[in-house]
Structure 1
């Protein structure tokens, strides 16, 4: 019987290639959100089928079983168990690793017993073929009432069209044979002896064992029946174990207790050298484009407050975001490639050895590495950590890892104060400083974790269970889709905040209380000469006097005594305050502050305007000591309201985010003070 299909769900084990299939089905037509009431990622997209209709595709979190051990897995169970759930699917596509069917079919048989329309997509057929595994797809289909069973290689797009055809022509099997029949489960679930012998009767009435004994018995029986079934559907030929030997030889180096760390450090060095080597030209081009746009706006639009708002507030604010897109793209490109090839799992494995002496779980590695991209999903990723102490410590130290929001701040400050030198004819000094900031974040995270381990007491222990995937060549389609999604989120999410703050900053910097700004300008002697240099000097004094006596200038002067020991003036103080909303706002704030009243005809970039800034004694504001102090401050400070909000949601208490805010701000201030006084 045909059914109407408007939305489907992809379900599968971690590392089964489910996300790759999702990318193949949806392309760029996807977005990321959260499930109602929980902080679990929800990836949705739109797929155009062969009959030209469009359906919603939901990529559910990876899970090994419908007995949840984490919030991610609980979301899958709760969704599939509740037909009233807003994301309840009309059809489920179970994506399984065909090279490891025994483990993958456990989840499939549980879903099959839910009696929800299902298609079994056996992915990674290239790996199973290399292992000499031949699967009788027709026989496997017959064993489940002629349910569609499709071979697939998601990375190459093979089988995607067949999957779309199967969705369009899906027919509900006439018969459904329960996979598990046992009275033990009925007893474990406290049901009557007359209850149906299957674990699940229907989606609405599905009953999960509430005891460990019942869950263990059910899982044992499923695996026993799966092994019997696979004897009839799998023919494994004797093959040369070339690929396995190749993987083992590589892993002897990659996971070596010494060589593994040196290799990882070398890869990081290449990444940060590349960020500076390849991003400089497009960044300079973007900077000039926005500078020209401000000039054009001033020359075309009539003079007035609105024109100044656009030219001095909006355009520099947006430019402060867009200019760092090349570096963000490069950073994410390397991260995605490491994930696609299978090397990222090896990083997790070797970092486990490093982190355990500091009191962190091996499972803490994934959130901390994820934090290099963004601390928000990294904090959410701690849901997989079962041990309460390990999870709290990981949440508290994860934001110390340098995220992509810090990258614009780092690169701006490095460009300002670090000389453009090449060491030993190979290494760019700026790239080494950038690498040093990321290493500094990791070292401090481990140090704080060690202290937290002593303060927070518990007797429980946790273990890292990790599957090392086979090495694979990266697929450019997956890389491009991931880069597009990550870059779009960065530009859009950061852009909204920066644009709003840029407008507020411009207003606060352009106006002041009463006639304070006018009085300050009158106090400056107006030159009677026509000499251009003298007139330019007068205009700069006027702009400085207006800014200093504006609302924002007054605010900056109030906090200046607190931050002056760090080498910061009141303008830097304003950027520090605004960037507590989001770290990357620092750049947009500086762009706006130094654009108010600026002469755009001078073709000065933001970096050039910052370099020209002087103290009253004639010394440059942005010296090496000040620049390094700012870098260290931003490396440690908790300047992200969104992260604090996520920590509150994950810990169900304001206690931990407040502790995090206080200790990270104090750590940032003291460290920045020491660096400034040292240099």
Structure 2
């Protein structure tokens, strides 16, 4: 049985005591934090280490996304990898970065890492080493993953890795995380659980030492630099009590502690030390004579005219693909679900068979058939992010956003809102200006998210002909892009109106580092698609199953003997009109559905939505889809499964067969357009409201958001229907 020693510094040096752990090889588990600058290859390394063994959740007590995964370091040693938000230093400016300090400064936390992997861009080592030296002075056991060595070589930068390792006092692993180069060597070092670096890169001045030592003694901290950070950041550290913060506040006043000036001086001193260190480590073999390749591309892609045209062309290609490329797999899934429902019905008759076929299978089929379109949407977004183009888009759109009162950083949440409003709202925490952040959170749900795609595609396919104009323009794709543009325009106009009401006078600045252009790593793109589709299917699936079962029960049973009377009435009408047996059964099903609990409930709220062109069936779907927008398709699929001929298996067949009171097709252009516009503007998402509540810490903004979007959806839907009917 092998024993493993966790090497830690001597306690006499003000560092944690040495810990020796003898464990069974099968019991070795380590928590490793992955930290680095933005665009240092941290996400690529995380994907290489964990593969498909990933999950996304929140940091304890904080609405900040964290990605965790499991890495198999050796045959008998597994590690939990925690991917921390990207940051340039340990002095946080956003909510994302504050998570790092909460995690690394509280050694008593159950989430405290055993080991830290710092990623650094080898082509820009000076900037990346600022964060490393701060972490090193916290005396954290760590390794430096010297990433993007290929990029450094292309720029003529040569690094003496052995000398750098000697100067830093920690293992340095040269890597190309995108291609998996160096990952095995990194796993070996991580498995050894080496101790903290012996080097110190910054020493507090003698004037600060009395205050630092008092903080260190009071909180039983293991070194001076951590105590200094308590003095700087005590107000932001969630694990400190009110008394603890009051104690530090008094000490700061007693010693005249100027946090801003000291942070600036520390940064200057660190860069001076880093520059001296790199003189012996880095050598540039050739100077860049020509403009870099990325800059040449940027001349075109960020041009004040061509840049926008190219971006619109890419969006146009995306929406064309969502219809054209996804059509075949969607049809196959739809037909497969219909076949499965038919097979279940062929097993016999009874409530359980009806529940499975008309309830669960019909409801889930309304979501599963849209997997190809969801996959295509996230594939495009992943390619744009992987290639480095998404950062350029945010830069270009910043010029437009500012005219409407939005912060430049608002562009990222708005674009992310095309995928899902929940993480998009969370990403607004990078906006320091409070009013700009609130405006961004308020308007993000107006961006059409992936959950709206099932509603859009079903209704667009019903009323827009599948025809190609000029050989390349698919009319359904053009209609879909128009809906997305309508959502975007409404978001920026709403932001302008809200800016006028709030009268925000604070100025904000948009600073973003452009990553170099790279070919996307298709493995990372694939992982993104799998992760997002899985979340879409399983998260929506749970709600769909519950609502489908509830709806089937409400649509299959009614108060008293109402269903018996409905059947008798239907048979009388069928006999008078000499219906065929098949027509008679359809009429009975329709009458029983109308007399069921669902029918009674739908009829009670029908007067509210009748001016929009909707009937009681659609009104039920509107209410159930408040749980999640994509539930709309599952709801109408379930309701129409109960009330129609079982031979009409697919969702679109059921909708096309629906008739109004005059025997004409119910889903006319006017009704479909009214419903589409309603879903462009309506909130229809409990998760989004909950996220807004958590981010704004109150119900005021979520309720204003719900009221505004619901009212806007109703008015715009009413106008569209009355104009087109």
CA contact (8 A) 1:26 1:46 kept: yes
* Residue among 65, 84, 90 paired with 1:41: 65
Provide the rounded CA distance (Å) in 2 between the counterparts of 1:194 and 1:563.
Answer: 65
Deviation at 1:204, TM superposition (A): 8.2
Alignment gaps of 5+ in structure 2: 7-20, 22-28, 234-258
- The correspondence of residues 533-612 of structure 1 with structure 2, limited to 5 A, is 534-600=580-646, 602-612=647-657
3-state SS in 2 of match to 1:32: strand
- Matched with 1:179 is 201
- Matched with 2:448 is 402
Provide the rounded CA distance (Å) in 2 between the counterparts of 1:122 and 1:420.
Answer: 52
3-state SS in 1 of match to 2:195: coil
- The correspondence of residues 228-267 of structure 1 with structure 2, limited to 5 A, is 228-241=276-289, 244-267=291-314
More moved, 136-145 vs 115-124: 136-145
Ranges of 4+ aligned residues in structure 1 off by more than 4 Å: 187-195, 202-206, 239-242, 526-529
1:292 aligns with 2:343: no
3-state SS in 2 of match to 1:595: helix
CA contact (8 A) 1:413 1:627 kept: yes
* Residue among 401, 425, 440 paired with 1:355: 401
Deviation at 1:424, TM superposition (A): 1.6
- Matched with 2:118 is 94
Alignment gaps of 5+ in structure 1: none
Deviation at 1:192, TM superposition (A): 6.7
3-state SS in 1 of match to 2:33: strand
Going from structure 1 to structure 2, the CA distance change for 1:317 and 1:340 (only over 3 Å counts) comes to same
Count of residues in Structure 1 that have an aligned counterpart in Structure 2: 672
3-state SS in 2 of match to 1:6: strand
- Residues 599-640 of structure 1, C-alpha deviation per residue, up to 9 Å, x if partnerless? 33x254221111111111122110001111111100110010
1:641 aligns with 2:664: no
Going from structure 1 to structure 2, the CA distance change for 1:438 and 1:241 (only over 3 Å counts) comes to farther
Provide the rounded CA distance (Å) in 2 between the counterparts of 1:652 and 1:194.
Answer: 33
- Matched with 1:2 is 5
Deviation at 1:86, TM superposition (A): 2.2
Deviation at 1:434, TM superposition (A): 0.4
Going from structure 1 to structure 2, the CA distance change for 1:213 and 1:608 (only over 3 Å counts) comes to same
- Matched with 1:651 is 696
1:135 aligns with 2:159: yes
3-state SS in 2 of match to 1:65: coil
- Matched with 2:320 is 273
1:482 aligns with 2:485: no
* Residue among 184, 209, 227 paired with 1:161: 184
3-state SS in 1 of match to 2:716: helix
Provide the rounded CA distance (Å) in 1 between the counterparts of 2:231 and 2:122.
Answer: 27
3-state SS in 1 of match to 2:110: coil
- Matched with 2:486 is 440
- Matched with 1:316 is 362
- Residues 220-278 of structure 1, C-alpha deviation per residue, up to 9 Å, x if partnerless? 21111111111111001114555x43222211111111111111000000111111111
Deviation at 1:177, TM superposition (A): 2.5
Provide the rounded CA distance (Å) in 1 between the counterparts of 2:399 and 2:480.
Answer: 25
Provide the rounded CA distance (Å) in 2 between the counterparts of 1:626 and 1:193.
Answer: 68
Root-mean-square deviation over aligned CA pairs: 2.2
Deviation at 1:526, TM superposition (A): 4.6
Deviation at 1:131, TM superposition (A): 0.8
CA contact (8 A) 2:69 2:81 kept: yes
CA contact (8 A) 1:526 1:538 kept: no
CA contact (8 A) 2:77 2:191 kept: no
Provide the rounded CA distance (Å) in 2 between the counterparts of 1:99 and 1:51.
Answer: 34
- Matched with 2:54 is 30
CA contact (8 A) 1:188 1:213 kept: no
CA contact (8 A) 2:406 2:436 kept: yes
- Matched with 1:427 is 473
CA contact (8 A) 2:38 2:86 kept: yes
